[in-house]
Amino acid sequence: MKIYFLGTMGWFDTKLGNTLCVLVDTGKEYIIFDAGTGFSKIDNYIKDRRPIYLFLSHFHLDHIIGLHTLNKFSFPQGINVFGPKGVKKMFSLMINAPYSKPVNKLKLGIKVSEISHKSKFPFNIKYKELLHTTVCYGYRLAAGGSSIAFCTDTGPCKSINSLGANTDVLITESSLPPGIVDRGWPHLNPEQAARAAKTSKAKKLVLVHFDAGDYPKEIDIGSAEKSARKIFKNTIAARDGDCLDV
């Protein structure tokens, strides 16, 4: 698998990057996690007719605002969209007048479904609810003998450990700066993310979703990476445009 980090920031775009979007090329399909502003770049990576799946964690704007760029794409295979309960309602509201071009006017087919344990996929994917201010799902993908977990917008919780257990790569957020805890708005700092990786016995930790207000400079992201490495050595902080082979 190849993992492309198209957006690594949280809340809003800065000179450091776009809001969250991660694309995974399994060799058989394209799997996208979240549709922040980085979503607008997917046509730089999707070059053939393999199936495309988009998994949304939740509906905060920095994770779905990139959907308004759907009108630039013309993938003949369309996109299969999955998310928590309410994803169909959200989609019909947002991808519609007056906010965006309506779904029936797009150049590609879109199928939107609420994910459930009855959902069928040609690959192995699991999901669990994370700890956030609204319903938010983390995902675990296994394909081609490799596994990754994607857990963003969450405070420390057992679901991260479960989804990340023995994965090749645990991708999780680092919204808060080192040492800062905010229980009223559940997110992780780099140390908490590193402890989750250590507890889950993941092989590698990748930090994403750096809160734009708390990470205004590259040095701040570097500081988060250093703080996490003190607890979990095999940690990297992803930047927009990074690619990781798994």
pLDDT of residue 185: 86
Mean pLDDT of 44-49: 96
Comparing CA positions, the residue from 9, 51, 45 lying closest to residue 28 is 51
CATH superfamily membership of 2-245: Ribonuclease Z/Hydroxyacylglutathione hydrolase-like (3.60.15.10)
pLDDT band at 209 (very low <50, low <70, confident <90, very high): very high
How many Å apart are CA 51 and CA 63, to the nearest integer? 21
The per-residue pLDDT for range 119-144, each reduced to its tens digit, is: 999 999 999 999 999 999 999 999 98
Give residue 113's identity as a one-letter amino acid code.
S
* Of the listed ranges 15-24, 61-70, 99-108, the one predicted with least confidence: 99-108
- In this predicted structure, what is the pLDDT of residue 184? 81
Mean pLDDT of the chain, nearest integer: 97
| pLDDT tier, 86 (very low <50, low <70, confident <90, very high otherwise) | very high
The pLDDT tens digits for 168-203 are: 999 999 999 999 998 788 999 999 999 999 999 999
Q: Where are the domains of the chain?
A: 2-245
| 146-151 and 52-55 beta bridge pairing | unpaired
Neighbouring C-beta atoms of residue 134, cutoff 10 Å: 10
At 164 the three-state DSSP class reads helix
Instruction: Tell whether pTM > 0.85.
Output: yes
Q: What is residue 156's predicted lDDT score, i.e. its pLDDT? A: 96
Q: How far apart are CA 104 and CA 7, in angstroms?
A: 27
